[in-house]
Every structure is written in C-alpha cells, then in structure tokens.
Amino acid sequence: MGNKQTTFTDEQLEAFQDCTFFTRKEILRLHSRYRELAPHLVPLDYTNNPDIRVPLALIVTMPELKENPFRDRIVETFSEDGQGNLSFNDFVDMFSALCETSPRELKTIYAFKIYDFNRDNFICKDDLQQTLTLLTKGELTEDEVLLVCDKALEEADLDGDSKLSFSDFQNMISKAPDFLRYNHVLYSHLYLCLLLLLLLLLLLLSG
Amino acid sequence: MARNVNFDLNHPLMEAGLESPVDEEGVHDSFNQLIAEQSQNGGISDGYELQQLQRELDEEGRDDVAYLSSPVREFRGRNKGRRDVEWEEDERQTDPLIAERWSSATLRILSSMPSRTIGRSRGAIISQYYNRTMQLRRRRQSRPSIKDFSRSARPSIRGYGMEADEADGEDTEVSKRERLVNNLQNLSVTDRIRMLRAMPLSVAEKNELRRLALQKEKQTLSGSKLPCCSRLKYYIIIAVRQSWYSWLSFLHSLQLWQMPLKRVSGRFGTGVLSYFIFLKTLLYFNLFLFLVTGAFLVLPQAVHPPMLPAERRPFSGLELLTGAGCFSDSVMYYGYYSNDTLHKSCKDDGAVQNDSVSNSTGHDCVSKRLSYKMSLAYFFTIGMAFFITCIILVYSMSKSFGQSFRIDKSHSILAMKAFCSWDFKVIKKTSVKLMSENICTQLKELLAEVNHKRVKNTVGQKLCRLMVHGLAWTICIVSTAACVTGIYFFSDYMHQNLQQSSRSVNQDPLLNEASLLALPVLVSLINLLLPGLFNLAAWMEDYESPSVRTYVAISRNLMLKVSVLGVLCYHWLGRVAADPNSIGLKCWESFVGQELYRFLLMDFIFTLLDTLFGEFLWGLFSEKVLRRRRKPAFDIARNVLELIYGQTLAWLGVLFTPLLPAVQILKLLLLFYIKMSSVMMNCQAPRKPYRVSQMTTIFITLLCFPSFLGASVCVTYTMWSIKPSVSCGPFRGLQTMFQAGKLWVQEMEKHDPKLSVVARAHSYLVEHPLFLFVGAGIFLIVIYFYSQVVDGQRKIISLLQEQIENEGEDKKFLITKLQSIHEQKRTPARRLTSQDSTC
C-alpha cells in the first residue's frame, strides 16, 4: 500500500473498533491480509462497502488456518451464507472472535457452532464422531471412536437426551479452562496504581 | 427426536434443507407464538424440513396445530387415545425417543425451542442481549461498577434470560431490536462497547445497532432544547472516550514481543507459551518496581549527589560480576543514599513527578516549602511498592483460581478431551501431527481406563511402589539437606575468612573481591545440578500420570530453593547484619545488596550455561551421536521455578539495592531472547499435555506464596528489628528503619496538634500486637465463611443437576405427548375404530 489511498473512512474504522476487539491499525492490517488472498477481487477502497466475498478455498490457505483440522468448519461458521464465502465483515468477525482478547463466552458460542457440524443446534453423536475423526486424523478405529462418543456424551449430557445442547456444552467447557488468561488488564491496573501513587506523593509533598 | 438428529450427512438433499444461518431469523420465538403462527402459515417451510419427513408433511393436514389449540377437542382426543398413549409410553421407556417418527409440526416446534436457538438465531441473541442490557442498567442504578459482569466465574449454567420472551408473545423482532438499541443508548460508552463486542452477531449487524444507538443519542441531544451543562457533558463524554481509546492503544503498544510469542505458540502450543508469558509478567512487575524506585529514590538522589570521599577505585571489569569496587559508592546501593532533607527548590519536586522537568535546572525557585525527606521517601517507597505488588499478586492469583478450579463433582474427561484438547494456536505442520498423535494416545489410554476399571495391584506390588517412592523421597531430602548444610558451613567459612582478611592489611584487593564470588557460584551450581538428581529419582519412580510427576518435581525443586534461600537469609540478616564491624564493614546493607546482585548475576550465568550445555550441546549430541530422532522437550516446570527463584532474589534485594529491578529487567530481557532461540533451535513440543491454566495458577501461587511472602517477611523484619548502619544510608542514626515513619508522625504532631489523633492511631495500629491479631482473626473468619459458602454452593449444584435431569425427563415426556396427539389427529378415523374394537 504505497500510495496514500484511504481504505476506510474514519467513521468506518471507529465502527470496527467499537464492534470488534481490534484497533485501527489491526483493522487495516486485516484488510491487507484479506486483500492478499484475492488481489484481483478485493479493492483497496472500502469506503462504500462493496459486496465482495472471497471463497472458502482461498481463505483456508492462510497460514493461521492451513493446518487446522477444523478450518472448513470455522470458515463456514463465520460466513454469512453458510457456504464459506467470506465478506470482509465476516473475515473481521472471524478474527475478532478468535483473537486472544475476545471473552470466553463469545468463544464458547462460536466453538459450539463450529463443532455443530450439521447445524441442528445440538452436538449429537455424529458431530462428535466427525470431530474426533478430524482430531485424530483417522488414527482411531471406528469402534473406538464410537465408544469415545458414547462415553463423552454420557459424561457431558445433563438432561439425558443423549446430545449436547448449548448449555451442556457451556457447562462442560467451563470446567476445562485451558485458555491463557494473562491479559493486559493486569498491566493496566499496574500502571494505574503507579499513576495513583505519583498523585499521592505529590499531595504529600505539597501538604 | 433421535431421528432428526442422526442425519445422514451424505444425503445431498438433506444438507440443502438444513437450517443455515441465513434463514434462521424467524426461528426463535416463544412456544405460544409459534403455535399461533403455524395455524396461519403452517405450510411455509422453516428451513428445517428433513428429507425423510417431507412425505409425512405432504400427507398431513395443514391445520394440525389449530387442533392443538382447541382444548376441548384435545381433551376428548386425549381421553380416547389414552390407551394408545400409554402403550406408546411403555414402548418408549425401553427405548426412549428412538425409533420415533416425528411429524413435521412437532419438529418445527422442537426446532424453535429456546435451548436450540441460543447463540444461533438473531432474534434470540437480540432478546438475550436486551435482557442483559436491562440487567446492566438496573445494576447501574444500585452499584456503579459492573466490572465483573460477564466474567466466566459466574455460575456456569446460566439462565439465558428467555423468560421475557415468553411473557410477551406478540412482540416482534423489530421492537425487540428497538428496545435493545434503546438500552444500548442508555448505557455508558464503555459498557456499550463491551456489550457490542461480546455479541455473537456479525459485524454488519453490530454496526447497524451501533449506528442506531448513536443516532438516537444524537437525536435526543440535539432535538430537545439542551441546557448548556448537558451539552458540556456530551462533549466531555466524547473527550473521555477519545482519551480512553488512546489509553487502550497505548496499552496495546506496550504489549511486548507479540510476534515471537505468536511464533512460539504456533510451534509449541500453549504450554511453552505459558513460560514466556510468565517471564513477561515478571518483567512487568520489575518494570513497575524500577519505575517506582527510580522515580522516588534514584532520581532525587542522583540529582543531589551527597558528599563522597574523594578516593574512587578504578574500574577493573570484575565489578560487573561482583557488584563491588567502584559500584559500591554509587546510586545503586543503599549506602549511597543520604539522610538529609532535600529541599533545594521545586526542581527536585519536578524530578519527582516528572522526568521532563528535571532538565530545567538553571532557574531559581522562590518557594522553599517543598522538601523531600530521603529517609521517609525510602521507607514509604519500598513499603508502597511491596504493598501494591502484593495486591496485584493476590488479585491475579484469586482470579486465576476462580478460572481454573470449579466447584463440581462430575468431571467429563472424555468430552473435554474431545472438545478442549486441540490447541488452536498451533500452526506448524509437524507440531500439528504430533498433537493429533498425542490426543490419539490419550484417548486410547482413557478408553482403556474406562473399559477395565483399574486393575488392583497386589499387596506386594503396592509395598514395592511405596518403597520406591520412599527411597526417592529420601534421596531427594537427604541430598537437599546435605546441600543446605554445605551452604551453611561454607558461608560460615567465608564469613570467618572475611573477618581474617579484614584484620590483616596487605592483601590483594582483587583476589578479595573474587573470593566473594565463591558462595554465589556454589549456590548456583547446586541449583543447577540437584534438579538433575531429582529428575533421576522421578525416572526411577516412574509415575503414571504426568500431572503427578510435574507436581512432585515442582515440590522437590521448591523444597530445595526455599531451604537454600532460608539459609542465605539467615547468613545475611543473622550473621552479617548482626555484627558488621567484625568483617570491617561500614555499611552492611550495601554488602548484602552486593551479595544479592552477585547471586542474581550468577543465577543468570548458570542459566545461560545450562541452556548452552543442557539444551544446545546435549541436543546436538543426542542427534549426532545417539542418533535419536526426538529432540529434548522444554522443561517448563523447572524453568519457571528458576524464574521464581530469580524474582525472589530481586524482591529481597530491592531494599538494599534500589536498582536491582533494573538488573533483573536486563536479565529477563536477555533471557527471553536466549530461551526463545534455544527453544526454537533445540527443542520440540512437549509430549506431556499441559493443563495450562492450572499450571499458570500454580506458577502465580508459587510466586505469591513462598517467593513474595518470604521476601516481604525478610524485608519487613529488616525494617522493623534490625539496626541500620550508623554511618551510611538514609536511616543512619535511627534504631530501626521503621522509626523514620514514627519520627515523622511525631514531628507532624508537634507542628500541628490537631493531628494528634493520627499519631495516636498510628502508634496503636502499628505498634500494638493486638491489632495484628484482630486483623489476622478477621481474615481467618472471612476465609472460613467463604469455604462454608462454597460448601453450600456445592450442595446447591448437585440439587440443580438433579433438577436438570428431571427437566430433561419432563421435556421428553411432553414431546412424546405432543407427538401422540399429532398421531391421533392424523388418523382419527382409524384410531376411533381401533379404539372401539378394543373396548
């Protein structure tokens, strides 16, 4: 992006900032990444919100997704048409939900959607089976996979309908908090403390 | 029900007919509304029809739901069909809900059940967030801060706030949305942004909501005749928002090392990443300490250097290692600080509040009322720094505890493995392969465990295991004890050596200085070698579960480090500080500061050596000579413990060496790059899965409990009961460092008799042990109450779980009822005849 052409208006950027977990700079970077995928398709100028979608096949070539066994499902989940064609909004949406600062709750909702292969709002045995096949790259035998599915459903299902509703899923996830959660909240507290301390000392000195 | 769930995915038609995010707008709504609607447009596809049910739909009447809504007929029909239903129920009990062909109407109702639409349909999300914003507003009125609103620490099974839908059935989505916009508009800016960000809607949708909310805000602001002050308020809000944004982006730019961390996590997953993030956290802690001591102690003192003896020792290079020599009379150590009151002008005040002012030195300042008492500043700076660090540590520890330990008895291990074991950060191909292999073996192990419940060990085997464990622990404890006694006697020997050398005059000062390095080298060597021995013992024991193995390793290493540090603290505070004259010291605080500097540096050097030999050369050796395919794995636990050890030294030394945090910052920066490149070059992803969050909780807890607590106990002890040096430092002439505060309060009382209350309160609070006891007692009581509350919650959780099971049963029962009524409706004639014949 050598020339100084505007990609987004200030208003657009502000809207993105309010609605996603990204800063202005990151949004622009995301746009350039998006544009790299299909340079002939995506224009530089996004001020009038062109309706352009990049197909799934191109999206999954990104290094972030390339090796992920769930890449197709992830992209499909975030695409508005459900086929995996992402508009720039969808693209931003995807990265915003997957980024580190997004809250656990939001991640849980999208994780549920991703694991819900047949989109019936339940994770049933089939979904679980597909998940496991993708996870283990088909190294478990059919019987083993079925056994794992049965046991897992038995464990996590609370209301006994032998499939996982969202609340079951959420309940299970909440017990396995394997996310990293050192966020910059801690640091901001640290620096606010420092500022307060400075003020306090000033008061002491002048008093 | 099972029918519609176990789709045959290979069927192309079915895929097409499935509900997609596009057409789910209308899906969510309340039961009543749906039933009412369906009587009008029963034929309209909800996008949920399954292929095999299409036929049933065709043969069914369209007004099936209208039937339901007429209670009389329903009752009659129910009466007539009761036997039928009962019979059906019997069958169902053997095979619940399977082998059931649901009619399309039932399916439609099922598909619109609230639990199915959570997080999916737009309407559901909007109404859910409407409820949330409402709650937020209500909360706002009672309590200003809603910080912890959407934390996951809340009860995990949440009422999703669907009750409002059922109440107002006629409410359309549009009005719901309007109300949401209304609520959003009434929230504060930060809350609104938080809400918007957390909504699981598409960006376009959120953008629209935001636009509407903003528009409304503007309308209300410009439409009505605004008084000047609220217009002012509006502008202030905008300004605050702008500054909040810039503050956030400033914080964002503070985030160090984003790219390297991404690379590490992409290759090794979150386990190794947690080490580096821990390192980063320590760096921030030290930065905070450095800024505090730098601003309040070092800078004022550096601007007003005290009178020093003219003779300065030349720089020989060894100072970098020992910290003695020409460094000893510098701003780095306690001894350099004066006990004067610095009151030149507003210049030091400027230096205190802001570095930028300190440049303007030349001008004369008239006001002389600003004074800076060094001893007080020293006392309060160290005290406040420790206090704030303590608060931050306890806060982050409790937060991390809340996240990783839940009150729940059932554990769904297999389900968790299936859904939560994938590390979405990993993007390197070989690591991905390794990870899926790992998951595979873990699943197999778990399955084996589930299938054959633990094979009982015989008594002999148990005894054998016990013996092995006992032996390993004995080895570890004995070796630790031996090392600690070794250090004890060696430090005693060094101390006597120093005493002798202080008496004899003619000795090489360089040799003297170098001999100071012996103790740090010994300690670092022990720290380096003993963990190897512990690893050997653990290998002998052959623990089954990796987590137990990690915990055992951590506890052994911790035992070693704590006892070593204990002995060293005794050496410094008990031997050196008790009788500094015997080894010819004028300023024992500076000596201890130098010792700590040496220890910190030696620790760093030995870590480097370990990285070079233990990781790099050993990796080369095993690859080239032993022809092993696997590279060594990165030992997270040990490395983290080393970091904690170093941090303890830094905390211990802040009092004696105000610039020690700066040294520690440098050390951590270098360590980050060295470890990073070493990991990238020599290591591979660890084979053992790491429960990252629990590990981080443990790391933070260890940092808080033995490390920080120990350091602060030592520092407090020094301040409270050890006599500071007579001829140096800011506290010279006082009995204890703590007296500085006391004298200040007394002086204040003298100046202003009104403040005598403060002085009395101070003397009561600080000097009376009673208050300490009362405080501790209250603390314990609070802890006790909390544990009781947790106990009660556990009971409630089990009750609730039971209730959920019952609800599930009820749901099944109702659905089967519903279905049976449909069945009757469909073939009323046949039913009737069959009924008649049976009766």
In a domain, A150, yes or no: yes
> Is A128 within 8 Å of B418 when comparing Cβ atoms?
yes
> Is A82 within 8 Å of B21 when comparing Cβ atoms?
yes
Kindly report the nearest CA distance between residue B155 and chain A, in angstroms. Answer: 9
> Is A144 within 8 Å of B254 when comparing Cβ atoms?
no
Q: What is the ipTM of this complex?
A: 0.76
In a domain, B109, yes or no: no
> Is B801 within 8 Å of A158 when comparing Cβ atoms?
yes
Q: Of B110, B189, B197, B452, which to mutate for an interface test with A (greatest number of A Cβ within 10 Å)?
A: B197
Rounded to an integer, what distance in angstroms lies between the CA atom of residue A78 and that of residue A122? 18
In a domain, A1, yes or no: no
If asked whether residues A79 and A29 sit together in one domain, one would say yes
> Is A119 within 8 Å of B18 when comparing Cβ atoms?
yes
In a domain, A116, yes or no: yes
What's the CA angle centered on B499, arms B496 and B501, to 5 degrees?
110
Q: Of A9, A13, A18, A76, which to mutate for an interface test with B (greatest number of B Cβ within 10 Å)?
A: A18
The DSSP 8-state label assigned to residue B156 in this structure reads S
> Region A103-113: what's the mean pLDDT?
82
CA dihedral sign, ordered B257, B262, B268, B272: positive
In a domain, B582, yes or no: yes
Output the CA–CA distances (angstroms, integers) from residue B618 to B610, B625, B670, B723, in the order listed. 10, 10, 22, 50
Rounded to an integer, what distance in angstroms lies between the CA atom of residue B362 and that of residue B122? 67
User: Domain span at residue B699?
Assistant: 258-306+318-341+370-419+458-730
pLDDT at B648 (0 to 100) = 94
Q: For the beta carbon of residue B276, count every other beta carbon within 10 angstroms.
A: 21
> Is B352 within 8 Å of A126 when comparing Cβ atoms?
no
If asked whether residues A90 and A117 sit together in one domain, one would say no
If asked whether residues A122 and A198 sit together in one domain, one would say yes
Helix (H, G, I), strand (E, B) or coil at B121: coil
**Which residues on A lie below 8 Å from B446 (Cβ)?**
148
Q: Are residues B530 and B522 in contact, defined by beta-carbon separation less than 8 angstroms?
A: no
**Which candidate from A96, A126, A181 shows the least CB-CB separation from B9?**
A126
pLDDT at B150 (0 to 100) = 39
Number of structural domains in chain B: 1
In a domain, A142, yes or no: yes
Rounded to an integer, what distance in angstroms lies between the CA atom of residue B572 and that of residue B584? 15
Cα Dmax for chain A: 78
Instruction: Count how many pairs of residues, chain A against chain B, have C-beta atoms within 8 Å.
Output: 293
Q: Report chain B's C-alpha Rg in angstroms.
A: 36
Alpha helices in B570-659 (DSSP H): 588-609, 618-624, 636-653
Rounded to an integer, what distance in angstroms lies between the CA atom of residue B782 and that of residue B776? 10
Question: pLDDT, tens digit, for every residue of B85-110?
Answer: 444 444 444 334 444 556 677 777 76
pLDDT at A161 (0 to 100) = 74
The domain that holds A108 is classified in CATH as: 1.10.238.10
**Which candidate from A21, A23, A136 shows the least CB-CB separation from B197?**
A21
> Region B118-140: what's the mean pLDDT?
66
In a domain, B706, yes or no: yes
In a domain, A57, yes or no: yes
If asked whether residues A123 and A188 sit together in one domain, one would say yes
Rounded to an integer, what distance in angstroms lies between the CA atom of residue B547 and that of residue B398? 22
The DSSP 8-state label assigned to residue A123 in this structure reads B
Kindly report the nearest CA distance between residue A48 and chain B, in angstroms. Answer: 13
Domain boundary (A52, A71, A98) is at A98
- Residue B505 pLDDT > 50: yes
pLDDT at B721 (0 to 100) = 84
**Which residues on B lie below 8 Å from A159 (Cβ)?**
804-805, 807-808, 811
Q: Of A11, A96, A118, A123, which to mutate for an interface test with B (greatest number of B Cβ within 10 Å)?
A: A118
Rounded to an integer, what distance in angstroms lies between the CA atom of residue B323 and that of residue B517? 10
Note every long-range contact of B354-357, with CB atoms under 8 Å and residues 24 or more positions apart, other chains counting: B355/B295, B355/B299
Kindly report the nearest CA distance between residue B726 and chain A, in angstroms. Answer: 27
**Which residues on A lie below 8 Å from B443 (Cβ)?**
132, 136, 140, 144, 148
If asked whether residues A94 and A109 sit together in one domain, one would say no
Kindly report the nearest CA distance between residue A4 and chain B, in angstroms. Answer: 22
Q: Are residues A34 and A64 in contact, defined by beta-carbon separation less than 8 angstroms?
A: no
Number of structural domains in chain A: 2
**Which residues on A lie below 8 Å from B417 (Cβ)?**
152
User: Domain span at residue A63?
Assistant: 10-98
Chain B residue closest in CA terms to A99: B425
Q: A94-108, B114-128, B433-447, B597-611 — which one is most confidently predicted on average?
A: B597-611
Kindly report the nearest CA distance between residue B658 and chain A, in angstroms. Answer: 17
**Which candidate from B152, B444, B804 shows the least CB-CB separation from A105?**
B152
Question: pLDDT, tens digit, for every residue of B538-570?
Answer: 888 877 766 677 788 888 999 999 999 999 999
In a domain, B239, yes or no: no
pLDDT at B647 (0 to 100) = 94
The DSSP 8-state label assigned to residue B98 in this structure reads -
pLDDT at B674 (0 to 100) = 92
pLDDT at B348 (0 to 100) = 42
**Which residues on B lie below 8 Å from A131 (Cβ)?**
418-419
What's the CA angle centered on B404, arms B398 and B409, to 5 degrees?
120
**pLDDT band at residue B429, thresholds of 50, 70 and 90?**
confident
Alpha helices in B60-171 (DSSP H): 64-69, 71-80, 82-94, 104-111, 114-117, 122-142, 163-167
If asked whether residues A90 and A118 sit together in one domain, one would say no
The DSSP 8-state label assigned to residue A35 in this structure reads H
Chain B residue closest in CA terms to A125: B6
CA dihedral sign, ordered B131, B135, B141, B144: negative
In a domain, A168, yes or no: yes
If asked whether residues A48 and A115 sit together in one domain, one would say no
Rounded to an integer, what distance in angstroms lies between the CA atom of residue B423 and that of residue A179? 9
In a domain, B116, yes or no: no
Q: What is the 3-state secondary structure of B453-506?
A: CCCCCCHHHHHHHHHHHHHHHHHHHHHHHHHHHHHHHHHHHHHHHHHHHHHCCC
In a domain, A5, yes or no: no
In a domain, B822, yes or no: no
Residue closest to B2 by CA, chosen among A84, A82, A124: A124
In a domain, A2, yes or no: no
**Which candidate from A82, A139, A158 shows the least CB-CB separation from B805?**
A158
**Which residues on B lie below 8 Å from A188 (Cβ)?**
251
If asked whether residues A83 and A110 sit together in one domain, one would say no
DSSP per position, B56-74:
HHHHS-S-HHHHHH-HHHH
> Region B119-129: what's the mean pLDDT?
64
Rounded to an integer, what distance in angstroms lies between the CA atom of residue B127 and that of residue B458? 60
Question: pLDDT, tens digit, for every residue of B608-625?
Answer: 998 888 888 887 887 788
Residue A120's DSSP bridge partners are none
Question: Position of tokens 């004298």?
Answer: B743
**Which candidate from B18, B270, B424 shows the least CB-CB separation from A118?**
B18
If asked whether residues A75 and A129 sit together in one domain, one would say no
Say what the pTM is: 0.69
Domain boundary (A98, A127, A155) is at A98
In a domain, B389, yes or no: yes
Q: For the beta carbon of residue B311, count every other beta carbon within 10 angstroms.
A: 6
Residue A86's DSSP bridge partners are A54
Q: B267-271, B430-434, B606-610 — which one is most confidently predicted on average?
A: B606-610
Kindly report the nearest CA distance between residue B713 and chain A, in angstroms. Answer: 22
If asked whether residues A121 and A139 sit together in one domain, one would say yes
> Is B414 within 8 Å of A152 when comparing Cβ atoms?
yes
**Which residues on A lie below 8 Å from B691 (Cβ)?**
178
**Which candidate from B20, B118, B156 shows the least CB-CB separation from A166?**
B118
